[in-house]
Amino acid sequence: MNGVYTRDEMLEWLKQYFKGRKYEVEDYSPEFDPARVPLYCVRKEQEIIIDEIVIEITTDEIISKDGFFPLFSIAWEGIKNEEEACPVRFYQYYFSKAKVFFAYPDYVSENDEFNEFKKVMNDNYN
């Protein structure tokens, strides 16, 4: 593929990759609504889950920590708390035994912002 990938192109490639490795795959399954889980892969033996993977996808050329982890505020009883919002936290909570991966295109611009993003991912979500 040349140029910019669409989300559907990336999903299709990932689905074929995991199907070829004997996983059942679901993309944006209504089973997980209201969460929009891009790709869920599960491998079973005799109906027992032996491996579970959740993949977050982006087609962006520029990925930054601040762009991927926007701050959100929670206020209660006069206390205000700001935290980073991240879909990976959701996946880790609801799919506690799953491996969570972040798929990004090969044309991603690797710069200081991307390196900061990778550091946050490695430090907090490995």
Give the type of residue at 125. Y
Q: Give me the residue label for tokens 């009883």.
A: 77
Q: What is the pTM of this model?
A: 0.78
Sign of CA dihedral 74, 78, 80, 81: negative
Q: Which pLDDT score, from 0 to 100, does residue 66 have?
A: 76
| pLDDT tens track for 10-69 | 999 999 999 999 999 999 998 888 778 999 999 999 999 999 999 989 888 988 877 776
Q: Which pLDDT score, from 0 to 100, does residue 71 have?
A: 56
Q: How far from the centroid of its chain's Cα atoms is residue 85's Cα?
A: 13
